Structure 1
Amino acid sequence: MSLTEDQRQRLLALARQSISHGLQTGRPLTVELSDYPGELSAHRATFVTLERAGQLRGCIGMLEARRPLAEDVAENAFAAAFRDPRFPPLRDSELAGLDLHISVLAPAEPLPVASEADLLQQLRPGVDGLILQEGGRRATFLPAVWDDLPEPARFLNHLKQKAGLPAAYWSDSLRFFRYTTESFG
């Protein structure tokens, strides 16, 4: 699915409205799906990333599509602003300088690998989002993370650490899934 520029702008406005609503009420904006055309009410998974002065200020999302796109954006924008455990809740004074980015995820596909070297060969820098699973641990990096970690080995090592594993960790029980995103903001 590819969104039009108008649809993208509408979702970005919705994300900002949900954050503003959250500052006033402590709750995400309730989305009236009848106000949104079919493409924006189809079930899709999203991440909403917030930045201030080029620095991460919050990022929350879903890896699986569980609700309509417009609703997912409103909920994740609110969560990125107020529930990301890495940051204090957003303050009113921060809203004006806030940059919003939305990533709409394509469904994740299993990425069977025989070894770490095999995985590194299969990764597509700048294209793939990657999910790592090991037992009850799970972590993901959106494709945008390649901007900061362009080398596949560093990308993978940082993802392992995000999952609470040592950078050099490898096990035959590790599972990987890749996905692409349509990102804008």
Structure 2
Amino acid sequence: MTEIRTPRLLLRHWHDDDLVPMAEINADPRVMRWTDEGSVRDLEHTAEDIEHWEEEWDEEGFGLFAVELLASGELIGFTGLSVPAFLPEVLPAVAISWRLGTQFWGQGYASEAAHATLEFALQDRGLDRVISISRVGDRASENVIRKLGMVSERETAHPVHGHRLRVHAIDLTEFHA
């Protein structure tokens, strides 16, 4: 089982008791504002998401990590890798993403978790390149993406919802651990 420890965080596979706190994060409109069409997700949809994320680990050898605060053991959200099948024009690609509860914003947790995940992707999983897809206007995500050293490659439209997306990338030769 893959786990990653950073100075403040544990990135790990999902536990049964993660469902309720992740559902609470997904139920917050401020968190979900920049995701898909911006709608919140209930407990049932969150359970389906976690099941899908765990299946991706089995199928791809990577997936979304549950992110836990080392100091308290509290689940604060997720970070990880996935295949962005919703955007066929970037395939084959592996994308890094994150989602944290609002009480954990502005403390550097997203950057810390994403950097550890990017290092895992490029060094442990042997990926040559990782992308990130953000909605145009999501300044907080763009800030994390910039800290990762990713550069904007193109803008496109979400194929279902129509809003503007920005695709960023970094390859192994550009990454600094």
**TM value normalised by structure 2:** 0.27
Larger radius of gyration: 1
Q: Which has the higher contact order (CA 8 A, sep 6+)?
A: 1
